[in-house]
Amino acid sequence: MEEFKVNHLPLVENKRLVGVVQDSALVDNGDAAATLDSVRDRLTHAFVRGGQHIYDVMKVFSEQNLTVVPVLDDLKSTHKHVAEWMKPQRRSIDRLVFGLASNRVVPQPLGVVGVIVPWNFPLNLSFIPLSAIFAAGNRAMVKMSENSRYLARLLIERMPAYFPPEKLQFFDETGGVGVEFSKLAFDHLLFTGSGTTGRAVMAAAAQNLCPVTLELGGKAPAVVCDDFPLATAAERILFVKCLNAGQICTSVDHVFVPRTQVDEFARLAAQIVPKRYPRLDSPDYTSTVDQRSFDRLVGAMDDARARGATLINLIDSGPAHDRASRKIAPHVVLNAPWDSELMKREIFGPILPLVAYDTLDEVIQRINSGPRPLALYPFSHDNARIERLLTHVMSGGVSINDALFHVGQHDLPFGGIGDSGMGHYHGREGFETFSKLRPIFHQARLSSVGLLAPPYGRLAERMLAFLMR
């Protein structure tokens, strides 16, 4: 076969590595308790050293530095709880049929887990999965994004000092690597990215019957109810929307606002944003990742304007966007048609459509008419309204009276549903996702089941009648 270079290793060598790791993975389960401190310490040390190196290069605090804290917290939380997660679980048994037999579930490593990491939070979305993958006793191969080339190079160079290649390897995207990576016979594959790419990854993994966890995205709505303080809602929503210039899969995509409060929300937004980002070239404000994304967002804004929408630049002292720096000022959009580009697909940028509504039923119907979102953000102090939204709108996760922060809770699973993804990780659910929960039935010395063996006679008939009562 033609050799395909992946991180300076031929593809055939990576296939061999998967096999070696699968053969040896169970070793990790046997001595997991003994090596847990070592793995945690090495992973933490590697992450802190890598994060410090990036900070030294940047010489400035940035939003990406904020990803360090969640990762360290996740490592600490996993280390605190994993001994409990690893314990065999006693399960009930039907004593009438199986007498003194016993049941238990034992978590054991799957083997080797593949991780495909997006560009928007590459440290967070590589090290948090590794925390669960290693806690479950697995090995890992991690493919970085083509837009994270410098970080990928750093991790490829530095990680061997902390983990041998048969435990962990990072791979750069040099063109076509992701396609070949997703074809490898992993025991599990975690992908974070777009729905289009996620479908291709799932199709490739299916050739090996490889189970997948897909963390995708979608149009996550916020719903502001009229009993909630509008200024507080605007502050919290705009903080999340402007974070990383809206390039977060769980960012607020659009906001449903009571019709009588739409203009006031826009006015508040125009006050809030300039205090945080006084100029478009503010060092605290992020660029779009590449020219293609910049052009897509500017094109979507032009499309909405051409269809009659009103776009309000929230940094009114400067330009709406700058092509050289690929920065787009935060905008709110009024009266965007539902068939406009902004409303048809995930925005993934600093543009926030405000959708006027009259009744909560109208909001529920509109959300449910589209794909199920990765997140839902209701704002209300009325528990009946919150419960109505929770019971009538399905989403991957929920933050009530804020946005995004359910993702940062270590004891909550994170994952999508429908078009926004499948499967979960974080916390116990992450450990279980990357474990085989192995059911074990242990027969007793004496078994009553043998009494039901043929030839069938009066005794078998009586036992069956007794069990069917």
Convert the pLDDT of each residue in 378-393 to its tens digit: 999 999 999 999 999 9
> In Å, what is the CA distance from 241 to each residue of 58, 78, 180, 207, 316?
24, 29, 34, 38, 18
Comparison of pLDDT for 17 and 146, the residue scoring more? 146
Averaging pLDDT over each range in 161-170, 316-325, 431-440, which range is the top one? Answer: 431-440
Is the pLDDT score of 304 beyond 50?
yes
Distance CA 418, CA 64 (A): 29
Task: Say how far apart CA 25 and CA 188 lie, in whole Å.
Answer: 13
Residue 283: CB atoms within 10 A of its CB come to 10
Q: What percent of the chain has pLDDT over 90?
A: 76
Q: How many CB atoms lie within 10 A of CB 282?
A: 14
Selected from 3.40.50.720, 3.90.650.10, 3.40.605.10, 3.30.360.10, the CATH number assigned to the domain covering 5-216+422-438 reads: 3.40.605.10
Q: What pLDDT is stored for residue 348 in this prediction?
A: 98
**Amino acid 55: pLDDT:** 47
Angstrom distances, CA of residue 385 to CA of 178, 224, 232, 260, 357: 44, 11, 18, 18, 15
Fold agreement between 5-216+422-438 and 221-412: no
pLDDT at 220: 98
Q: What is the reported pLDDT for 63?
A: 60
Average pLDDT for 325-345: 97
400 burial class (0-12, 13-18, 19+ CB within 10 angstroms)?
middle
Per-residue pLDDT tens over the stretch 81-93:
999 999 999 999 9
The yes-or-no verdict on residue 20 having pLDDT over 80 is no
Is the four-CA dihedral 339, 345, 348, 353 of positive or negative sign? positive
Amino acid at 25: A
DSSP state of 3: -
The string of pLDDT tens digits covering residues 153-165 is 999 999 999 899 9
Of residues 75 and 207, the one with the higher pLDDT is 207
Angle at 438 between CA 432 and CA 439, to 5 degrees: 125
| Global pTM value | 0.89
Q: Report the SS3 class of residue 207.
A: coil
pLDDT at 36 over 70: no
Query: What does each C-alpha distance from 352 to 20, 299, 338 come to in angstroms?
Result: 49, 15, 14
Examine the pLDDT at 458 and tell me if it is beyond 50. yes
pLDDT at 206: 97
pLDDT digits (tens, 9 = 90+) for 401-439: 999 999 999 999 999 999 999 999 999 999 999 999 999
For residue 347, which of 240, 254, 224, 234 has the smallest C-alpha distance? 254
Rounded to 5 degrees, what angle do the CA atoms 430, 435, 438 make? Answer: 135
Average pLDDT (44-66) is 54
Token duo for residue 429: 């659910």
- Beta strands of 79-138 (E only): which ranges? 89-91, 102-109, 112-116
Q: Is the CB of residue 101 less than 8 Å from the CB of residue 441? A: yes
- pLDDT, residue 62, reads 54
Q: What is the DSSP letter of 88?
A: P
The whole-number pLDDT of residue 335 equals 98
Q: Which pLDDT score is estimated for 367? A: 98
How far apart CA 26 and CA 436 sit, in angstroms, is 11
Of the candidates 173, 210, 215, 341, the residue annotated as catalytic is 215
| Adjacent-strand bridge partners of 424 | none
Residue 213 in tokens? 């966890």
CB 207 within 8 Å of CB 184? no
Per-residue confidence (pLDDT) for residue 467, from 0 to 100: 75
**Arithmetic mean of pLDDT over the chain:** 89
Of the options 3.30.70.3040, 3.40.605.10, 2.160.10.10, 3.40.309.10, the CATH number for the domain spanning 221-412: 3.40.309.10
Active-site residue flag, 249: yes
| Strand order across the beta sheet in which 89-91 lies | 89-91, 102-109, 435-442
Q: Is the pLDDT of residue 13 over 60?
A: no
CA pair distance 172, 283, nearest whole angstrom: 28
* Both tokens assigned to 327: 């920065």
Q: Where residue 466 falls among pLDDT bands split at 50, 70, 90?
A: confident
Higher pLDDT, 21 or 432: 432
Task: Write down the domain spans for the chain.
Answer: 5-216+422-438, 221-412
Mean pLDDT for 2-20 is: 44
Percent of the chain scoring above 70 in pLDDT:
86
And the tokens for 287?
Answer: 């660029």
| Predicted pLDDT at 453 | 80
Of 210, 225, 242, 249, the catalytic one is: 249
Quote the CA–CA distance of 410 and 412 in Å, as a whole number.
6
On the question of a cis peptide bond just before residue 455, with omega within 30 degrees of 0, the verdict is yes
Q: What is the pLDDT of residue 327?
A: 98
> According to the model, what pLDDT value does residue 57 have?
45
Cα 143-147-153 angle, rounded to 5 deg: 60
Query: What is the pLDDT at residue 41?
Result: 67
Catalytic residue check, 346:
no
